[in-house]
């Protein structure tokens, strides 16, 4: 318990300074992942190939201020994102139980992925020096290539920013 509190305090102090862009670039093939979500299902990028754009929003830690604001935005305004042919999900290195509790408290109606091994966070190059994920959102095209990377996220307006990016990327509306 003490280590978790210590990690949260360190994250609150250092995360604003730790936000760094990933080494992945637009045009790169996005690393495949298979992660369990708060709904108990496993999600993997390859399941969306040829079907939908994927919006993968990495966040540092459940139950922190910024992450709560981001989750609330995606929950309250997720209907705007669902107007597009895009699947959206949040991901962190928190364990599944922490994410499930967080998702229940925030009434999240979208997948919140857990990467406790930190392997996927490493593959996306978002694992920072505090050993949590930096807040970076990846937009992955139906061909599996990264089409946009956003590392300047207004957590309170995350859903509106995702929609604006989907429009800018000319993602088609859902059927």
Look at residue 40 and give its three-state secondary structure.
coil
d(CA 89, CA 87): 7
Closest CA to 19 of 133, 140, 155, 158: 133
d(CA 7, CA 61): 9
- CB contact at 8 A, 51 and 175: no
- Collect all residues with Cβ–Cβ distance below 8 Å to 132 and sequence separation of at least 6: 7, 11, 15, 60, 61, 92, 93
Q: How many CA atoms lie within 13 A of 156 on its CB side?
A: 1
Among 37, 67, 86, 130, the one annotated catalytic: 67
Residue 67 annotated among the catalytic residues of the structure = yes
**Catalytically active residues, by annotation:** 67
């Amino acid at each position: 318990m003490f280590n978790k509190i210590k990690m949260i305090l360190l994250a609150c102090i250092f995360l604003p300074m730790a936000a760094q862009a990933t080494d992945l670039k637009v045009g790169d093939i996005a690393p495949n992942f298979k992660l369990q979500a708060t709904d108990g299902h496993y999600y993997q990028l390859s399941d969306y190939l040829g079907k939908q754009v994927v919006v993968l929003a990495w966040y540092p830690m459940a139950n922190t201020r910024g992450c709560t604001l981001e989750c609330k935005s995606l929950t309250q305004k997720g209907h705007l994102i669902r107007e597009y042919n895009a699947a959206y999900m949040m991901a962190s290195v928190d364990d599944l139980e922490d994410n499930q509790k967080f998702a229940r408290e925030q009434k999240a109606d979208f997948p919140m992925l857990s990467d406790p091994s930190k392997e996927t966070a490493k593959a996306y190059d978002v694992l920072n020096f505090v050993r949590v994920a930096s807040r970076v959102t990846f937009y992955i095209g139906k061909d599996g290539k990264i089409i946009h990377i956003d590392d300047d996220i207004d957590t309170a307006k995350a859903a509106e920013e995702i929609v604006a990016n989907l429009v800018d990327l000319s993602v088609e509306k859902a059927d």
